[in-house]
Amino acid sequence: MIDLDTAKVMVTEARKKGRDLGLQPLAVVVIDDGGHIKAFEREDGASPGRFDIALGKAYGAVMLGMPGSAQMARAEAQAYFMTAANGVFGGKLVPVPGGVLVKRDGVIIGAVGVSGDVSDKDAEAAVAGITAAGLDPVA
Amino acid sequence: MIDLDTAKVMVTEARKKGRDLGLQPLAVVVIDDGGHIKAFEREDGASPGRFDIALGKAYGAVMLGMPGSAQMARAEAQAYFMTAANGVFGGKLVPVPGGVLVKRDGVIIGAVGVSGDVSDKDAEAAVAGITAAGLDPVA
Amino acid sequence: MIDLDTAKVMVTEARKKGRDLGLQPLAVVVIDDGGHIKAFEREDGASPGRFDIALGKAYGAVMLGMPGSAQMARAEAQAYFMTAANGVFGGKLVPVPGGVLVKRDGVIIGAVGVSGDVSDKDAEAAVAGITAAGLDPVA
Amino acid sequence: MIDLDTAKVMVTEARKKGRDLGLQPLAVVVIDDGGHIKAFEREDGASPGRFDIALGKAYGAVMLGMPGSAQMARAEAQAYFMTAANGVFGGKLVPVPGGVLVKRDGVIIGAVGVSGDVSDKDAEAAVAGITAAGLDPVA
C-alpha cells in the first residue's frame, strides 16, 4: 500500500530532480498496486497529453510487473506482443522508460510514471522520487 | 490558465475542508480550461474509482461550461440530453454536484472535481479550495 | 490483500451455499482491492455471460466502495448517476445485489461477485463465502 | 464441453507444474469452446494484468482454432494478419505460446491460457494441466 503522504513525497522529489537536471517540464503520476492513481502533478509548460503518457508508463509497469525498460526490450524483440498486450489493456500501456516499479521489502506496491523529457531522463526523475521516499525503484 | 502552484492550493484546501467537516475520504482533481488534469490527490481510504468520478464531474463542467448542479438539473429535466452528451464525450461526464467551475475575472479557467462523500458535501469542499486560492467558484 | 487460498475458500463456500439453498447454477468471482480477479468458477449450467455479470457486481463494489444494494438504491433514486458512472468505468458496473464488499479490520480488501439466481440469493451466497473465510461481508 | 470439475483439475495441475519447475507466479484460465471462462486462479505475486494476458492467449486459441505457437508463427510471418484479427476480435487476442487448445476425441472443447513466466514455460504448465485431466493438449 502506498499512502498519499508517501505518494506526494515521490511526486515532489521526482519534480525536484527534474529541476536539478534542467529537464523539460514534467508530468508525474503515482499509482498503487491495482493501477489506480494516488497523486499527479503536471508542471507548467508540460503539454496536456503528458498525463496520459505518464499514466500509461506507470500502468503498464504495474499490470505486467515489468518496468518500462523491460517492456521496451520486449517491444523491440517482439513488437506484436506489446501491440496485443495493448489490445487486452484497452490501449493503456506505454512501453518505454519512465515507468518505474516501486517495491518495499521486495514486493511491488505501485509505480511512478514520468513524462516530459526524453525517456531515460524521465526514468531518472522517477527513480529519484522513489528513493527519496525510502522505497526501492526498479526502472 | 491555472498554474500548478494554484492547482495545488485548491487541492490542499479542498481536502482541508473535507477534514474540517469530517467528510469521507476524498479524491480531488483540478483540470484546466482544456479539460486536462493539472493535479490530483486521492486520500487514503477513498475507493479507487473516486478518481474517475471526480474527473467526470470536473470534465463535464469544463466541456459544457456548466457546473455539476446545473448538469444535474438538466439531467433531471431532460435525461436523454445528458445521455446524448455522454455519447459525444465518450461517457466521460458525471452530471452531479462536486464539479465546480473556476473563474477569474469572469472567465472560466478550469474546474475542480471532488468525490468521496455525498455530492453536496463534495461540492462544498471544492468551493472552499477555489475560494482559498483567491478564485471564483461556480458550483 | 486477499491471498489465493482465501479467495478459493470464498468461492467454494459461496458455491456450497448455493447448492444448500438449491439455487440456479452460479458464477462466483473474487477480486482484490484494485478490482483485479484472483479466482473465478462458473458452475455447469450457468450461462456464459454470468462471468461478466458477476465481475460487474464485484467491480462496482470495489471501485465505488459501495455494495450492490447501495448501488441499486442509488440507481433507483438517480438513474442518470449510475448511467454516468458506467460511462467513466467503461460499462463495467452492474449495480444490483450480489456484489459484496470484503472487509478485514474495517478495511475493504476486495469483493465477491455472484450471478446465477435472483440477485438477493446471489448476495446470500456471497455473504456465506466471505463469512466462511473469517472475513466481514458488506452486502 | 468442459465441466467445472475438469477445469479445476487443469488449473490445479498447471499450477502444480509451475511450482515443480520453479516458475514465476502464474495466472491460469480455462475457457470453453465458446471462449467463455469456466475457472481462473491468479497466484500470489502474479501481477494483476496476468489475467488479461492469460485470457488473451486462451481466447485467441479457441476463436482461431490455433494454439499460441501457431499464432506466433503467423504473427512473425504476417504481422498485419494478427493485427487485423485483433481488430475483428476487439483486441482480445495475445498470439504467443501459453494458449493451449484442449481436445477430446480430436475435437476442440476449449483452451487453457497461462501467463506469468516466459511464454514457453507458460505453455509447458498448460500442457501439464490438460494432460493430467486426461485430455489432449495442442500447444
Backbone CA torsion sign across A6, A8, A14, A19: negative
**Per-residue confidence (pLDDT) for residue B61, from 0 to 100:** 98
Nearest by CB to A65, which of D47, D55, D92?
Answer: D47
Q: How confident is the model at residue C5 (pLDDT cuts 50, 70, 90)?
A: very high
- By Cβ distance, the residue of C3, C38, C40 closest to D37 is C40
CA-based nearest residue to B116, from B38, B15, B7: B15
Q: Is D37 on the interface with C (CB under 8 A)?
A: yes
B3: contact with A, CB 8 A cutoff: yes
pLDDT given at position C59:
98
CA distance C77 to chain D (A): 34
Partner-chain contact B36 A51, CB within 8 Å: yes
Please give the tally of structural domains in chain B.
1
Contacts of C46 in chain D (CB under 8 A): none
Question: Chain C contact for A33, CB < 8 A?
Answer: yes
pLDDT in tens, D17-74: 999 999 999 999 999 999 999 999 999 999 999 999 999 999 999 999 999 999 999 9
> How high does pLDDT run on average in chain D?
97
Going from the C-alpha of C23 to that of each of C129, D36, D49, D80, D110, the distances in angstroms are: 15, 21, 32, 47, 26
Write out chain D residues lying below 8 Å of A66, CB-based. Answer: 47
More confident residue, B56 or D79: B56
Measured CA to CA, the distance from residue D17 to residue C98 in angstroms comes to: 34
Name the closest residue on chain A to residue D88, using Cα atoms: A87
Taking every pair of Cα atoms in chain C, the longest distance, rounded to a whole number of angstroms, is 39
Which helix or strand (DSSP H or E) is residue D121 part of? helix D119-132
Is the CB of residue C52 less than 8 Å away from at least one CB of chain A? no
Return the sign of the alpha-carbon dihedral for residues B115, B116, B122, B126.
negative
B49 Cα to chain A: minimum distance (Å): 8
- Residue C1, pLDDT score: 87
User: Strands (DSSP E) along C1-139, which ranges?
Assistant: 27-32, 37-42, 99-104, 107-115, 136-138
Q: Are B30 and B39 in contact (CB under 8 A)?
A: yes
Residues facing D108 on adjacent strands:
D103
Query: Which of A2, A3, A31, A36 to mutate to test binding with chain C, by most C CBs within 10 Å of its CB?
Result: A36
Q: Which residues of A touch B51 (CB under 8 A)?
A: 36-37
What's the whole-number mean pLDDT along residues C3-19? Answer: 98
CB contact under 8 A, C33 and A35: no
Q: Which residue of C has its CA nearest to D55?
A: C37
Q: Within an 8 Å CB–CB cutoff, is residue D33 touching chain C?
A: no
What CATH number does residue C62 fall under? 3.30.450.150
Please indicate if any CB of chain C lies within 8 Å of the CB of D50.
no
In the beta sheet, which residues pair with residue A39?
A30, B41
Q: Which of C34, C81, C83 sits opposite B83 (nearest CB)?
A: C83
CB–CB of C32/C40 below 8 Å?
A: no
Q: Taking the mean position of all CA atoms in its chain, how far away is CA D44?
A: 19
Q: Which residues of A touch C32 (CB under 8 A)?
A: 34
Q: What is the pLDDT of residue A67?
A: 98
Contacts across the C-D interface (CB distance below 8 Å):
43
Contact B132, B88 (CB under 8 A): no
Inter-chain contact A37–B34, Cβ cutoff 8 Å? no
Instruction: Dump pLDDT digits (tens) for B11-54.
Output: 999 999 999 999 999 999 999 999 999 999 999 999 999 999 99
- Flag whether pLDDT at B131 surpasses 90: yes
Q: C74: closest CA among C56, C46, C93?
A: C93
Residues of A in contact with B8 (CB under 8 A): 41
Q: Decide if pLDDT at A1 tops 90.
A: no
Burial of D98 (0-12, 13-18, 19+ CB in 10 A): buried
Say whether pLDDT at C26 is over 90.
yes
Do the Cβ atoms of B93 and C87 come within 8 Å?
A: yes
Tell me the backbone φ, ψ of residue C117, rounded to 5 degrees. -110, -165
* CB–CB contact C87 B92 (8 Å): yes
Q: Transcribe C1-28 into DSSP letters.
A: ---HHHHHHHHHHHHHHHHHTTPPP-EE
Q: Give A38→chain B minimum CA distance, Å.
A: 5
**pLDDT beyond 90 at B1:** no
- Cβ–Cβ of C88/B46 closer than 8 Å? no
Q: Please give the average per-residue pLDDT across C81-105, as a whole number.
A: 97
pLDDT band at C33 (very low <50, low <70, confident <90, very high): very high
Contacts of A36 in chain C (CB under 8 A): 34
| Percentage, residues of chain A above pLDDT 70 | 100
* Average pLDDT, rounded, for chain A: 97
The helix-helix angle for C79-88 and C68-77 (nearest 10°) equals 120
* B47 to C64: CB separation less than 8 angstroms, yes or no: yes
Contact D43 C4 (CB under 8 A): yes
D-A interface (Cβ pairs under 8 Å ≥ 3)? yes
Q: What's the pLDDT tens digit per position in A50-96?
A: 999 999 999 999 999 999 999 999 999 999 999 999 999 999 999 99
Using CB atoms, which residue from C34, C88, C91 is nearest to B48?
A: C34
Does the CB of A90 have a partner CB in chain C at under 8 Å?
A: yes
Q: How far is C34 from chain A (nearest CA, A)?
A: 4
Range of the domain at A85: 4-138
What is residue D1's predicted lDDT score, i.e. its pLDDT?
Answer: 87
Mean pLDDT of A33-39: 98
Nearest-CB residue to B39 (from A38, A41, A49): A41
CA distances from B132 to B15, B54, B127 (A): 12, 19, 8
The C-alpha of A107 sits at a distance from chain C's nearest C-alpha, in angstroms, of 12
